[in-house]
Structure 1
Amino acid sequence: MTFTQDLSVISSIAALWIVVTIMPGLDFLLVTRLAILQGRMAALRAALGIAVGVGLWGLAGFFGIRALFVAAPWLYLVLKIGGGLYLFALGVRLFVGSWKKQPEDTMQSAPNMETVKGFRMGLLTNLANPKVPVFVTSLFAASLPQQASMGLGLSCVVMMFGMAIGWYALVATLLSLRRFSAMFLRCRQWIDRVAGVAFMGLGIRFATERSA
């Protein structure tokens, strides 16, 4: 393939991926919560974790993880159940924690714990969503030529990684500003409750729904 053809393929994948990236979902919810309740660094580390997860799924999609799932359906079942249980446990922790009395100035009194955990939370939340590998593999199958070069595949993965970290870093930076955080901190218990219910609901759905 020529450089122009490669660029056309990357552009078509980028056009679809940017829409998927900016749509609110579990990743967006996690970054928003950390930015508002724990500060910019915790949210930025989560953004990096999410982007790494996207990159890993992108590599898996390029190297044909869908074929592996077809050959060994139990692998996808393990991914769905394991991911669902992780999201459910995270939701329970958020929901239960929302009923505990919080310090008046959460941003100043307890940012360090979540900052350390930010990257891991972002990575695991992204990897735990079984819809991501299905979408990525479908996107690559529909957009990449059958004999796509290694360079083209890796370029698409780098593009997806860059979009993910750019978008979530922007969200983390904007929502950690004092004017936003001060307003939402007054509602921090309800933020955690809504986030907890959402994570629990999706966790149950992922763990119990039938494979497509």
Structure 2
Amino acid sequence: MSEFHVLVTLAGIHFIALMSPGPDFALVVQNSTRYGRQTGIAIAFGLSIGILIHSILSLTGISYLVHSHPGLFFVLQLMGGSYLLYLGISGFKGIIQHIRFPSANQKSGADFTISSKKHAFTRGLTTNLLNPKALVFFISLMSTLVPASMSLQGKLTALFILWSLALFWFCSLAWALSTQRVQRALTRLSIYIDGVCCLLFSIIGFTIVYQAISH
């Protein structure tokens, strides 16, 4: 298979994976819906940098070493699962606070999930980096599709494709969900969207922690 076909296949598989529901997708949907475009785009940048780091670590073999070392991978699973549980539980606490004191939240413009663009970027980066499923996915993707004999230019192009597709998709999602028309339509549903996203974080986080402990 030529390098061109490798890169096209890599891009196709990666883009399909990006569109599938998961912590990254939920994070952008939840916060773009509630806090607007700038927050969503800041999260998208964080997620794309996390994906770039995962890609580099997988390409250099570092991720494989972590995955093949039971102790290190166990720690990563616990950290990642616990972090997603934290996102879910803290989000539910914020929803309860919003329900109990709606006027106070509107008056002060309280933001119980994201406090700044820097916080949004960090949230996106941390959510992606601590996801052990992302580590396993990129190990599989790189080891299966990117041969060791691929040229340096080809490998750099692969890294650029993985990063740019992630940035494009998550920014597009944040942009689409934060247009005035969509915002007006979602205003009354925002708290339910928050609830679904927090439930997703909690389920995935619990599943990761459970799998780590039970193995």
**Shared fold per TM-score greater than 0.5:** yes
- 1:188 shift after superposition: 2.2
Q: Distance in 2 between matches of 1:102 and 1:145?
A: 55
Structure 1 residue 207 and structure 2 residue 209: aligned? yes
Q: Deviation per CA, 1:95-142, whole angstroms, max 9, x where unpaired? A: 111011335996x93568243411011111111211111111111111
Structure 2 unaligned runs (5+)?
Answer: none
Q: Distance in 2 between matches of 1:66 and 1:48?
A: 22
1:196 corresponds in structure 2 to 198
- 1:66 shift after superposition: 4.4
TM-score (norm 1): 0.89
**Matched residue count:** 208
User: Cα RMSD over matched residues?
Assistant: 2.3
Q: Distance in 2 between matches of 1:89 and 1:50?
A: 18
Structure 1 residue 109 and structure 2 residue 109: aligned? yes
Structure 1 residue 178 and structure 2 residue 180: aligned? yes
1:54 corresponds in structure 2 to 51
Q: SS of 1:90's equivalent?
A: helix
1:28 corresponds in structure 2 to 25
- 1:185 shift after superposition: 2.0
User: Identity of paired residues, percent?
Assistant: 28
CA distance 1:166–1:69, change in 2 (3 Å): same
Moved more, 94-103 or 122-131: 94-103
Structure 1 residue 120 and structure 2 residue 122: aligned? yes
Structure 1 residue 89 and structure 2 residue 81: aligned? no
Q: Distance in 1 between matches of 2:172 and 2:67?
A: 37
Structure 1 residue 76 and structure 2 residue 73: aligned? yes
TM-score (norm 2): 0.88
**Which amino acid in the other structure matches residue 49 of structure 1?**
G
Q: Deviation per CA, 1:152-211, whole angstroms, max 9, x where unpaired? A: 222111100000000111111110012211222212222222222211111111112049
Which aligned runs of 4 or more in structure 1 are off by greater than 3 angstroms?
102-106, 108-112
2:161 corresponds in structure 1 to 159
1:187 corresponds in structure 2 to 189
The answer to whether the 8 A contact 1:38-1:110 is kept is no
